[in-house]
């Protein structure tokens, strides 16, 4: 595990000396801030209106602000995450540093975990920005913290599974742009699959919808912890990392 | 230290390395010589556990590369053809990273980083980013990386490719200095390099070993018998044919060839009978005749000629 941490640290270092970390942090800070602002402004206008009309409709911060913002962030993350994972192996292959890694006394699994973990930690840093936005809601209002926490767990798991799949894609090519493009396409497909049940409720549609990564996030954002969704994300992560391991192994045989 | 037996690496359409065997003793520097595409890099990649062999075995320090890769990796330092450096890191950070990967920790790590940086003459650029370094410096950073854990075996793939003559010399000196404590295999397609650094050479062509021997033995063996080039000046009376006759009459001489004449000097090539050396007789005979002996030097095939004979092509024959 010491090796995993060594590799993870080096990856984090590379993120922060390249523009990619700063660009993503900026994008997340900006979009997260805007979503929170827009949702809160709408919420304030709505509650003023209902007060003036004499309605005492219970306005719920969780339902009206936090859930929509989290869902938006989930979709954005889906499309920005390939940018985090694209360089993990593609860059090593291009530079030839992969030869250093695989001829060092470390196991393939340690290399893979270290790299994936660095991307996951980087994603965690992005989520902290959203959490910072939400802190204002806690200062000026009193939302229920449990669904918020669960929402973040869901976001985190969703990101971790996308990153695992994109890590695998990164082992397939030397070109970061190609890795990002394929990752992006995959994210798009996984997103679109959730629409399968919109007009069709046949068995096939339900299976497709189940595979979609976003459909599992909904329950998290509503504050419901369903073991089914939890297991879905964990198996997705396992699947992605497993493919990465096989791909790395086959690279050695073919190289 | 290194034993390779029947090593074969097959790809879908061609065979990169075909049933090669050789061994390297502790402390030796062995040159892997061959045209581009001969299978040098492939062999090295198998030895460093980068890729498994299709057939045959290779053991490093007693450990099989396929069955005990971790043990082998711990004992090997490897410099691939392109130094495996991260351009965005400083030399110090990079060496520390590699050191940690190789299992060095704490105070030891800092000490080793300073030591190898000093040794490979990159200490003055320790805090510079690798992306800002020249090719020669990068190569030496690559070398520093390979020796950071003080491995028993060093595998260097074309360590001087792409360097300027001064850097080539510095790198060769460095490699020679590393010999003794490390067993070194280096590959190259530059012949003088092998003559300059290595004790033993393995010539490989089209995936097969064509010769394995020490540099002297190999050039000697190709020649078969002792041959010398002789330059002399006669008294002005004796002509070329007289000299030739006198030399041919000597007992140990098998053949005398007239090469050329410049001013009053005549040059001959004298070959001894196999297993004998007629040098002393030739010298005495020339002097006794009252001629002036100017030069006498032994002729041996240059490695270049040996190489051509063995591979049946130009030294860079398979180049694209």
With cut-offs at 50, 70 and 90, classify the pLDDT of residue A81: very high
Supply the pLDDT for residue B316: 45
On chain B, the residues whose CB falls within 8 A of the CB of A107 are 70
With cut-offs at 50, 70 and 90, classify the pLDDT of residue B296: confident
Q: Tell me if B65 sits within 8 A of B9, measured CB to CB.
A: no
On chain B, the residues whose CB falls within 8 A of the CB of A14 are 86, 88-89
Using a pLDDT cut of 70, give the percent of chain A over it. Answer: 98
| d(C-alpha A177, C-alpha B301), whole Å | 53
Q: Residues B180, B273: one domain?
A: no
Supply the pLDDT for residue B149: 92
Number of domain units in chain B: 2
Supply the pLDDT for residue B108: 92
- For the cut 50, the answer to whether the pLDDT of residue A15 exceeds it is yes
With cut-offs at 50, 70 and 90, classify the pLDDT of residue A56: low
| d(C-alpha B116, C-alpha A190), whole Å | 50
Domain with residue B229: its CATH number is: 3.30.70.3190
With cut-offs at 50, 70 and 90, classify the pLDDT of residue B318: very low
On chain B, the residues whose CB falls within 8 A of the CB of A103 are 48-50, 73, 76, 78
| d(C-alpha B178, C-alpha B159), whole Å | 13
Residue B127 placed within a domain: yes
Shortest distance, CA A30 to any CA of chain B (angstroms): 27
B185 at interface of A, judged by CB pairs closer than 8 A: no
Residue B24 placed within a domain: yes
Q: Tell me if A80 sits within 8 A of A177, measured CB to CB.
A: no
Q: Residues B148, B82: one domain?
A: yes
On chain B, the residues whose CB falls within 8 A of the CB of A98 are 84
Burial of residue B150 (number of CB atoms within 10 Å: 0-12, 13-18, 19+): middle
| d(C-alpha B25, C-alpha B30), whole Å | 9
Residue B246 placed within a domain: yes
Instruction: Give the mean model confidence (pLDDT) for residues B119-136.
Output: 90
Supply the pLDDT for residue B225: 60
- For the cut 70, the answer to whether the pLDDT of residue A91 exceeds it is yes
Q: Residues B188, B260: one domain?
A: no
Residue B309 placed within a domain: no
Q: Which domain holds residue B178?
A: 2-221
With cut-offs at 50, 70 and 90, classify the pLDDT of residue A114: very high
Tokens of B217: 């033995």
Question: Closest chain A residue to B105 measured between Cα atoms?
Answer: A2
Report CB contact under 8 Å: A104, B88. Answer: no
More confident residue, B99 or A137: B99
Q: Which long-range contacts (CB under 8 A, 24 or more apart) does B7-13 make?
A: B7/B43, B7/B46, B7/B53, B7/B55, B7/B56, B7/B57, B7/B58, B8/B53, B8/B54, B8/B55, B8/B56, B9/B39, B9/B42, B9/B43, B9/B46, B9/B51, B9/B53, B9/B54, B10/B54, B10/B55
| d(C-alpha A25, C-alpha A122), whole Å | 9
Residue B308 placed within a domain: no
Q: Which of B86, B93, B102 sits opposite A105 (nearest CB)?
A: B102
Q: Residues B244, B187: one domain?
A: no
B103 at interface of A, judged by CB pairs closer than 8 A: yes
More confident residue, B312 or A148: A148
Q: Which of B76, B88, B101 sits opposite A6 (nearest CB)?
A: B101
- 3-state secondary structure at position A14: helix
Range name among A208-212, B62-66, B119-123 with the lowest pLDDT average: A208-212
Phi, psi of B67 (to 5 degrees): -90, -30
Q: Residues B6, B114: one domain?
A: yes
Report CB contact under 8 Å: B85, A252. Answer: no
Q: Residues B29, B91: one domain?
A: yes
With cut-offs at 50, 70 and 90, classify the pLDDT of residue B282: confident
| d(C-alpha B118, C-alpha B72), whole Å | 26
C-alpha A144 chain-centroid distance: 23
φ/ψ region of B29 (left if φ > 0, alpha if ψ in -120 to 50, else beta) reads beta
Q: Residues B213, B237: one domain?
A: no
User: Which range is most confident: A121-125, A133-137, B54-58, B178-182?
Assistant: A121-125
Q: Residues B179, B237: one domain?
A: no
Which distant-in-sequence residues (6+ apart) come within 8 Å of A45 by Cβ? none
Report CB contact under 8 Å: A95, B84. Answer: yes
Tokens of A196: 């399968």
- For the cut 90, the answer to whether the pLDDT of residue A183 exceeds it is yes
With cut-offs at 50, 70 and 90, classify the pLDDT of residue B317: very low
Q: Tell me if B156 sits within 8 A of B10, measured CB to CB.
A: no
Q: Residues B216, B286: one domain?
A: no
Of the residues B221, B255, B283, the one at which a domain ends: B221
B9 at interface of A, judged by CB pairs closer than 8 A: no
Report CB contact under 8 Å: B50, A3. Answer: no
Query: Each residue of B62-76: pLDDT tens digit?
Result: 899 889 999 999 999
Supply the pLDDT for residue B300: 62
Supply the pLDDT for residue B12: 81
- For the cut 90, the answer to whether the pLDDT of residue B196 exceeds it is no
Supply the pLDDT for residue B313: 56
Residue B58 placed within a domain: yes
Residue B276 placed within a domain: yes
Q: Tell me if B24 sits within 8 A of B30, measured CB to CB.
A: yes
Supply the pLDDT for residue B319: 36
Q: Which of B80, B87, B88 sits opposite A99 (nearest CB)?
A: B80
Q: Residues B39, B179: one domain?
A: yes
Domain with residue B24: its CATH number is: 3.40.50.300
Tell me how many residue pairs between chain A and chain B have CB atoms under 8 A apart. 74
With cut-offs at 50, 70 and 90, classify the pLDDT of residue B205: confident
Q: Residues B136, B268: one domain?
A: no
Supply the pLDDT for residue A97: 94
The greatest distance separating any two alpha carbons of chain B, rounded to the nearest whole angstrom, comes to 83
On chain A, the residues whose CB falls within 8 A of the CB of B88 are 13-14, 17-18
Q: Tell me if B259 sits within 8 A of B268, measured CB to CB.
A: yes
Of the residues B203, B221, B239, the one at which a domain ends: B221
| d(C-alpha B309, C-alpha B311), whole Å | 6
Report CB contact under 8 Å: B51, A253. Answer: yes
Of residues B119, B117, B123, B161, the one with CA closest to residue B139: B161
- Cβ neighbours, 10 Å, residue A128: 12
On chain B, the residues whose CB falls within 8 A of the CB of A104 are 73, 98, 101-102
More confident residue, B194 or A198: B194
User: Which range is most confident: A83-92, B243-252, B283-292?
Assistant: A83-92
On chain B, the residues whose CB falls within 8 A of the CB of A174 are none
Q: Tell me if B29 sits within 8 A of B198, measured CB to CB.
A: yes
Report CB contact under 8 Å: B51, A252. Answer: yes
Q: Residues B142, B21: one domain?
A: yes
- For the cut 50, the answer to whether the pLDDT of residue A191 exceeds it is yes
Q: Predicted ipTM?
A: 0.88
Residue B136 placed within a domain: yes
């Amino acid at each position: 595990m010491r090796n995993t941490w060594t590799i993870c640290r080096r990856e984090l270092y590379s993120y922060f000396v390249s523009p990619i970390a700063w660009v993503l942090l900026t994008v997340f800070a900006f979009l997260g801030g805007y979503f929170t602002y827009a949702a809160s402004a709408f919420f304030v206008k709505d509650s003023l209106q209902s007060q003036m009309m004499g309605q005492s409709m219970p306005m719920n911060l969780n339902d009206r602000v936090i859930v929509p913002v989290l869902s938006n962030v989930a979709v954005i993350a889906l499309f920005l995450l390939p940018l985090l994972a694209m360089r993990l192996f593609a860059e090593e292959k291009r530079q030839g540093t992969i030869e250093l890694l695989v001829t060092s006394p470390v196991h393939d699994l340690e290399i893979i975990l270290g790299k994936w973990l660095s991307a996951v930690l980087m994603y965690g840093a992005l989520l902290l920005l959203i959490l910072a936005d939400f802190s204002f809601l806690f200062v000026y209002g009193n939302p229920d913290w449990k669904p918020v926490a669960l929402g973040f767990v869901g976001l985190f798991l969703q990101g971790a599974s996308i990153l695992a799949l994109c890590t695998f894609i990164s082992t397939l090519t030397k070109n970061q742009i190609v890795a990002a493009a394929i990752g992006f396409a995959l994210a798009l497909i996984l997103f679109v699959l959730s629409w399968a049940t919109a007009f069709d409720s046949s068995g096939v549609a339900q299976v497709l919808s189940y595979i979609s990564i976003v459909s599992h996030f909904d329950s998290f954002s509503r504050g419901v912890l369903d073991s089914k969704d939890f297991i879905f994300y964990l198996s997705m992560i396992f699947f992605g990392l497993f493919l990465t391991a096989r791909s790395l192994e086959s690279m050695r045989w073919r190289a | 230290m290194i034993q390779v037996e029947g090593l074969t690496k097959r790809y879908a359409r061609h065979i990169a390395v075909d049933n090669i065997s050789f061994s390297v003793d502790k402390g030796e520097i062995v040159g892997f010589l061959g045209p581009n595409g001969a299978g040098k890099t492939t062999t090295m990649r198998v030895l460093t556990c980068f890729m498994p062999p299709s057939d045959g075995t290779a053991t490093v320090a007693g450990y099989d590369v396929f069955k005990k890769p971790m043990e082998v990796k711990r004992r090997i330092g490897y410099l691939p053809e392109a130094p495996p450096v991260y351009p965005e890191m400083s030399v110090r950070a990079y060496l520390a990273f590699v050191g940690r990967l190789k299992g060095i920790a704490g105070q030891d790590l800092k000490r080793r980083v300073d030591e190898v940086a000093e040794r490979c003459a990159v200490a003055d650029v320790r805090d510079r980013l690798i992306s800002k370094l020249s090719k020669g410096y990068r190569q030496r950073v690559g070398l520093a990386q390979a020796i950071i854990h003080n491995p028993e075996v060093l595998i260097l793939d074309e360590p001087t490719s792409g360097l300027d003559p001064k850097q080539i010399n510095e790198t060769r000196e460095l490699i020679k200095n590393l010999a003794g404590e490390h067993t070194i295999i280096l590959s190259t397609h530059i012949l003088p390099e092998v003559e300059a650094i290595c004790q033993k050479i393995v010539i490989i062509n089209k995936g097969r070993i064509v010769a394995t021997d020490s540099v002297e033995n190999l050039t000697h063996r190709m020649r078969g018998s002792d041959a010398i080039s002789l330059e002399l000046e006669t008294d002005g009376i004796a002509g070329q044919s007289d000299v030739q006759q006198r030399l041919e009459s000597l007992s140990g001489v098998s053949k005398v060839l007239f090469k050329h004449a410049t001013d009053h000097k005549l040059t001959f090539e004298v070959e001894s009978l196999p297993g004998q050396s007629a040098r002393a007789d030739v010298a005495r005979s020339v002097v006794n005749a009252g001629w002036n002996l100017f030069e006498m030097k032994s002729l041996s095939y240059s490695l270049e000629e040996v190489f051509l004979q063995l591979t049946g092509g130009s030294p860079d024959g398979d180049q694209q």
